[in-house]
Amino acid sequence: MTTAPFTLEESQRAKSEMGDYTEFYSHLAMQARRASRVALVACAVALISIVSAILAQLRPPILLRVQDGKVASLDGSGVQVAETAPQQQPDNAEKLAFVNTFLNRFVNIDPLTVKRDTTLALNQMTYSLRQQILSQLNQENFVDTVRQNNVTSTLAVKSAELVSGDPYTAIVFGGKRITTLINGQENEPCFAQSKPMAAMKQPGGIQPYSAADKGVVPLTYPYSISTEPHFAVFVEFPKADSIRRIALGDSNYFLAEADKTDPHYAIIKQIEAPAAKGKTAIETNMLVYMASGRVVNINLKAGKLDNTAYSIDYPVPTAQPNDDPPPVPKEELEKKLREQERLELAENTIAEVKDHPKSQPGVVAGGLDLRFYSVKRLGALALVSFDVENTSSETVDLEDPQVNLITASNNPKDRKKPLVKTEPVEITQSVVSSKQLSSGARAVCLVAFKPPVHDSDQQVVLSISNRAMADKPATYRLE
């Protein structure tokens, strides 16, 4: 076999026919290397993101512990804790936002959301005010009345400002619009803008307004009042009595309510006119339940308005004060005296522990050091004083102290029965100065209980534990 020499001209001819495949494949290799580098970087970024998300989920949430009006500081959390009372108080912007939120829920009324908004507004009130307003709303059937009459109330706040010197009082100026939708007709009973309502709170007592400015017109039995749309009529009752509840025979044509701050007068308004003039005038009755037990029946007639201010007078019996209080039973008096003695003895015992703390170690278990001080007797009760110190390096939460009656088993060979039987003893009073202890901190404690009758093989044991190590309580044998 012979090989012919491959000349330069032939190699150039072959290269021109076949093309520069080596350079083409080198470009492909470069692109592949670049793509692999980008893929490696993307995988690294995705891996870092996944690890960061897992660490964020595993990190415990920041807890702010509040006790005795103070917020515990959290080291290393990055949270700035308001330690002083001025720092913990809300600023003026937060107070005004609270007022606006309350008014939007309590004053703005919508039939669809009245129940939810009223509930949220009641939750913003104090306990005593919430109970008072809730009882009034239940007596008036507020939610049902709003839904039946399609009552809509809108408050347009013009301005709101806080009263200087009183951090809990704000003055709000605005306009309120109340509308009802009955049988497809919209009415606007603007009680707050009626003239009688504007004149009720004038100085010098109640000075009602009438069309001729003649004062209050007294009503005689049987009581009857004529009403007309777009006019408000009020009825004054004796000042010695007060209105408890108002019931209307026909609430489609009339509205009636009692003033909440001065409930010895009622406001009546006709909210719908008769359909046709030729028909008989609409009549109904209003029952007013008074605090004295009297029920006043007033006939209401839709027609021509006679007056806008009336008064109803009747004698109100007054209860004779009893100068002599009822005698207190002897058992109840003795019980109160024993309770007072127990509280005084407990205060004195706690003061002694705080004034004379012990330095020697006591019973150490579960990260706690329990030091026993004394047992004082008051009748059948035993008051035990002790303190607890946190010996660990972390903040601990204390469980409530317990007193148990422990009985050892007589037959240790019987494996079916436990070797120790524990029965809790009822504690009458339990005092722990601080349920949360930082490292090295102490808590003064006191328990009052009635020692149980027990045998020689039984023990009365006091115990307190760290919540994180509840299975290792610090115990002390009392009896």
Residues near 372 by beta carbon (within 8 Å), at least 6 away in sequence: 362, 363, 384, 386, 462, 476
> At residue 217, does pLDDT exceed 60?
yes
Do 267 and 220 belong together in one domain?
yes
Answer yes or no: is 101 within a domain.
yes
Model confidence pLDDT, tens digit, residues 248-263: 888 888 888 887 777 8
d(CA 356, CA 351): 9
Cβ–Cβ under 8 Å, residues 266 and 311? no
Output the six-digit token pair for 25. Answer: 């494949």
Strand partners, 382: 377, 449
Q: Which residue has the higher pLDDT, 100 or 321?
A: 100
Do 183 and 193 belong together in one domain?
no
- pLDDT band at residue 208 under the 50/70/90 scheme: very low
Do 148 and 279 belong together in one domain?
no
The pLDDT of residue 39 is: 94
Output the six-digit token pair for 448. Answer: 């009052």
Answer yes or no: is 43 within a domain.
no
- pLDDT band at residue 198 under the 50/70/90 scheme: very low
The pLDDT of residue 24 is: 62
Strand partners, 91: none
Q: What is the mean pLDDT of residues 435-441?
A: 85
Count of structural domains within the chain? 3
Do 155 and 178 belong together in one domain?
yes
> In CATH, what number is assigned to the domain containing residue 265?
2.60.40
Cβ–Cβ under 8 Å, residues 265 and 258? yes
* Among candidate residues 162, 187, 212, the one where a domain is terminated: 187
The pLDDT of residue 49 is: 93
Model confidence pLDDT, tens digit, residues 124-160: 888 888 888 888 888 888 888 888 888 888 888 888 8
Do 215 and 283 belong together in one domain?
yes
User: Range of 249's domain?
Assistant: 189-316
Model confidence pLDDT, tens digit, residues 157-182: 888 888 777 777 888 888 888 888 76
Answer yes or no: is 11 within a domain.
no
Answer yes or no: is 49 within a domain.
no
Do 162 and 193 belong together in one domain?
no
Do 157 and 201 belong together in one domain?
no
Do 195 and 299 belong together in one domain?
yes
Long-range contacts of 250-257 (CB under 8 A, 24+ apart): 250/282, 250/284, 251/145, 251/148, 251/149, 252/149, 252/182, 252/183, 253/282, 253/284, 253/302, 254/227, 254/284, 254/286, 254/300, 254/302, 255/149, 255/189, 256/286, 257/140, 257/191
- The mean of the pLDDT values for the chain is 78
Answer yes or no: is 54 within a domain.
no
> In CATH, what number is assigned to the domain containing residue 418?
2.60.40.10
d(CA 322, CA 79): 60
Q: ∠ at Cα 390 (385, 395), nearest 5°?
A: 130
The pLDDT of residue 85 is: 61
Q: What is the mean pLDDT of residues 308-313?
A: 86
Do 431 and 353 belong together in one domain?
yes
d(CA 381, CA 376): 8
The pLDDT of residue 179 is: 83
Q: Which residue has the higher pLDDT, 281 or 338?
A: 338
> At residue 76, does pLDDT exceed 90?
no
Model confidence pLDDT, tens digit, residues 4-61: 565 667 666 666 665 555 566 777 888 888 999 999 999 999 999 999 999 888 877 7
3-state DSSP assignment of residue 300: strand
* Among candidate residues 153, 187, 221, the one where a domain is terminated: 187
Answer yes or no: is 198 within a domain.
yes
The pLDDT of residue 41 is: 94
Answer yes or no: is 172 within a domain.
yes
Residue 426: its H or E element:
none
Give Cα 227 to chain centroid, integer Å.
44
Answer yes or no: is 324 within a domain.
no
Do 214 and 115 belong together in one domain?
no
* Among candidate residues 166, 187, 208, the one where a domain is terminated: 187
> At residue 311, does pLDDT exceed 50?
yes
The pLDDT of residue 64 is: 65
φ, ψ dihedrals at 67, nearest 5°: -150, 130
> At residue 289, does pLDDT exceed 70?
yes
Do 268 and 360 belong together in one domain?
no
Do 301 and 244 belong together in one domain?
yes
pTM for the predicted model, two decimal places = 0.34
Model confidence pLDDT, tens digit, residues 330-342: 777 778 888 888 8
